[in-house]
Each structure stands twice: as C-alpha cells, then as structure tokens.
C-alpha cells in the first residue's frame, strides 16, 4: 500500500503505478463497507471540490457531489457556459484561481483534440489535484469503478478474459475514452483483453501501443479483432458500448453514415449466451436500449451495470480522500 498520494493529479491511470492503484482499490472497498455499515468517514471535512463541466453528466456529477459530501466536504458545480471561460478565462486562470479557492479541481471536457490538453494545462497551473471526470482520451474514474466491479464479481482479474467491444448506437459519436482507459488498465492487471471493433472505429494508435506494452509487462494479452461474435465467445466479461469513428472522420454526418453500417452490433440474449456461462455484462451507462444492448441483457441476471455505477461513488471517494487530504 502506498501511503502518500497527497496532491496527485488523476488524469489517466497510466500515470499511477499499479501499487498506487491497488491502494485506491483497498480504500474504495473500505469506504464501501463504511457506507454499508453507516459508519462516518469525514476524511475531507471543510474541503471543497470544484466540478467544472464542459459536457453533460448524470452519474459523474451525482457521484462526485455525493462523494465529497460523504467525505465531509462540499462540491461546487460549475457549468462552463455559466462562467467567463468563453469571455477570456484561460486554463492558467482556471487552474491558478480555482486552485487557490478550493482543494481539488475536477474537470469534464470531451471535445475532440481539446479536452485532454485543457486538463494538462489546468494541472500545470493548479496548486491542488486535478481530477479527470472524462476527456476525449481518458475516463479514469469509470475504469477504476470497473476494476472494482470485476474484482468483486470475478475475483483476481489475472488470467480472466474481457471483451471490450464497439456496439451500435445512433445517438451521437460518443467519446472513445472508455474503451481506451479499459485496455490500458485491464492489461496492467494481467487480463486477456479482446479489443473488438469494425475497421473504421480504431482507437488512438499510441493508446493501443501502451496497452500492448502493459500486456507484455504484466503477463496479460491484447488481441485485436473485428468479429463481434468471435470476440464474445467464451469471455468472462462482456463490455460492449458505442464510440465514434473520430480517427476515421470528425464529420458528424459522415460518422453517422459509418455507424449505420453496423446496426447488427448489439449485445442481445443470443450473443450473451456465447460468453462463458458465468460471464458478466458491463456498460458505463447511459446505454441506447435495444440498440446497443437488449433489455433482456441489461436487465438480466448477468448484468452488473448498477453495481458498476455504484462503484463510481466509492472509487472516486477513494481518490479524493487520498489526494485531497
């Protein structure tokens, strides 16, 4: 266990050692037990977390705001549209000033080619930890919750197989930060990762290269596949969600035309039955029901999506408690 993480940014799990992430898991499990038992755990009494959103949110805002309150602190919600950012506030001013007012700065900014750099620049200017609530490249807190869920449901992740697959959804070109963060972290925990997608939905090459190196170092594997059903067969974890074809085109209309070529990429009961009989189904939500996944699967006995959503609260509280104290 690592005992000194005060002041650390969490922009990507890749920048934390495995031992540091193990510490997050230990603390998250303990905080979950404390909440279940009704035990107070106000480790951040009188601390304030700024939550700056450039992108809409349900679970992320609710879990961060509830989490900082349960830790004894206060969450200050800021929508970017209600600030002076559009009138001249730069990342330097955001990092410097909000870092002086509060004890942690959490940002969600998913604009393609912009969000990650915004977080990096804000972190350079801030004297307090910067926490990535999602950018176009990474979604670290979702993936920490996913790891916690896999550990709870499947035990030691080493040697288990997880299928990280694209799925059809017509709503919009969703960020690829979830699958990218998944392949980065699960390979570090010795999982056999199957990355499955149509050819137009490639992830960022440098992320795939990092995941391949993680797999080599931690005795896991990363297999690239383009057959949805082959990717699901015999797997322990089905994690199928949509993401955009931004590495092929950033034009929304062209992206929609590409997405519509693959309407049959849905996790339904027939396909779920191809996985291991004890396999679990995961999705970060919100899901396009009966488009990405059938009601029978997402509401079925193998689905763990609500436990997964709950663990956002516990994993985020763990990182806040460790970095903001």
174-208: pLDDT as tens digits: 999 999 999 999 999 999 999 999 999 999 999 99
User: Considering only CA atoms, which of 136, 129, 124, 196 is closest in space to residue 166?
Assistant: 196
Mean pLDDT for 215-224 is: 97
pLDDT band at residue 320, thresholds of 50, 70 and 90? very high
Planar angle of CA 26, 30, 31, nearest 5 degrees: 115
Q: How confident is the model at residue 86 (pLDDT cuts 50, 70, 90)?
A: confident
- Is residue 136 over pLDDT 90? yes
DSSP class of residue 302 equals T
**By three-state DSSP, how is residue 74 classified?**
strand
Torsion angles phi and psi, residue 303, rounded to 5? -80, 135
Q: Where in the chain is the domain with CATH 3.40.50.1370?
A: 13-139+311-323, 142-308
Q: 13-139+311-323: what fold?
A: Rossmann fold (3.40.50)
Confidence bin at 1 (pLDDT 50/70/90):
confident
- Tell me: pLDDT of 253 over 90: no
Burial 62-94 (b: 16+ CB within 10 A, else e): ebbbebbebbebebbebebeeeebeeeeebeeb
The residues, ordered by sequence, that sit 6+ positions from 155 with a Cβ below 8 Å of its Cβ are none
Q: Tokens 């663990």 map to which residue?
A: 311
Burial label, 7 (beta-carbon count in 10 A; 0-12, 13-18, 19+) = middle
Q: Enter the pTM of the model.
A: 0.97
* pLDDT-based confidence at residue 112 (cuts at 50, 70, 90): very high
Q: Does domain 142-308 have CATH number 3.40.50.1370?
A: yes
Segment 103-130 shows an average pLDDT of 97
What would the mean pLDDT of 34-59 be, rounded to a whole number? 96
The conformational region for residue 261 under phi > 0 = left, psi -120 to 50 = alpha, else beta, is: alpha
* Percent residues over pLDDT 90 in the chain: 93
Is residue 56 very low, low, confident or very high in pLDDT (cuts 50, 70, 90)?
confident
pLDDT of residue 170: 81
Residue 171 has pLDDT above 80, yes or no: no
């Amino acid at each position: 266990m690592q005992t000194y993480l005060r002041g650390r940014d969490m922009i990507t799990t890749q920048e934390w050692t495995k031992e540091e992430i193990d510490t997050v898991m230990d603390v998250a499990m303990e905080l979950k037990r404390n909440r279940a038992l009704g035990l107070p755990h106000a480790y951040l009494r009188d601390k304030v977390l700024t939550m700056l959103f450039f992108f809409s949110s349900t679970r992320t805002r609710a879990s961060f705001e509830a989490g900082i309150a349960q830790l004894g602190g206060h969450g200050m919600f800021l929508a970017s549209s209600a600030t002076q950012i559009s009138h001249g506030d730069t990342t330097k001013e955001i990092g410097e000033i909000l870092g002086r007012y509060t004890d942690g700065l959490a940002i969600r900014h998913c604009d393609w080619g912009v969000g990650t750099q915004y977080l990096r620049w804000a972190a350079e200017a801030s004297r307090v930890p910067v926490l990535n609530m999602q950018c176009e490249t990474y979604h670290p807190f979702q993936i920490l919750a996913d790891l916690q869920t896999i550990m709870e449901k499947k035990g030691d992740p080493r040697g288990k197989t997880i299928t990280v697959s694209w799925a059809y959804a017509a709503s919009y070109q969703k960020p690829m930060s979830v699958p990218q963060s998944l392949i980065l972290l699960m390979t570090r925990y010795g999982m056999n990762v199957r990355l499955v997608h149509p050819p137009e939905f490639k992830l960022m090459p440098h992320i795939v290269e990092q995941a391949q190196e993680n797999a080599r170092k931690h005795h896991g594997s990363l297999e690239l596949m383009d057959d949805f059903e082959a990717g699901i067969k015999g797997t322990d974890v089905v994690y199928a969600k949509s993401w955009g074809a931004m590495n092929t085109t950033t034009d929304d209309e062209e992206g929609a035309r590409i997405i519509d070529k693959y309407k049959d990429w849905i996790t339904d009961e027939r396909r779920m039955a191809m996985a291991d009989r004890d396999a679990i189904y995961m999705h970060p939500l919100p899901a396009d029901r009966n488009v990405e996944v059938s009601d029978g699967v997402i509401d079925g006995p193998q689905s763990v999506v609500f436990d997964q959503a709950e663990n956002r609260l516990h994993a985020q509280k763990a990182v806040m408690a460790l970095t903001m104290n």
